[in-house]
Amino acid sequence: MTFMEILNSYANVLWHFFQTDLSVFSNVWMYIPLLIPVCFYFIFFLLKWYVLLAPITIPLTFVANTLRGLFSPIDMKEYRRLKKDVEFLKKTQETSLKTISNIIDTDKND
C-alpha cells in the first residue's frame, strides 16, 4: 500500500466513526432524562477522538506542553529564591575581588 492509500483508508475510518457519533447524538433518548446520557457519551466521544487522532493529537499535546513551559511566568517563591541566589553571587564576587586585590597588594609590597 502506498502512503496515499493508507491515508485514504484512515480518513474513511474516521469518517465512518464520525457518522456513527452523529447518529448517536441525534437520538432523542439521549436528551430526555436530564441530558445525563449525552454528557457521558460526550466524554467518551472526546476520549475516543483523542485516541483516533493520536497521530495528530500526541505531537500537538507535546508541543503545547513544551510551549507552556517556556512561556509560563515564574511564581513568587521561585522569584524570591532566584533573587537570593543572585544576591549571594554578587556578595561572593565582591569578596573574591577584595581577596584578589588584597593578594595583589601584598605581592606589590613584598
More confident of the two residues 80 and 22: 22
pLDDT value of position 110: 59
Four-residue CA torsion sign, 33, 35, 38, 39: negative
* Percentage of residues of the chain with pLDDT beyond 90: 20
Taking residues 27-35, what's their average pLDDT?
78
Residue 15 binned pLDDT confidence (cut-offs 50, 70, 90)? very high
Task: Take residue 20 and report the three cell numbers written for it.
Answer: 456513527
More confident of the two residues 108 and 110: 108
pLDDT value of position 29: 79
pLDDT value of position 74: 66
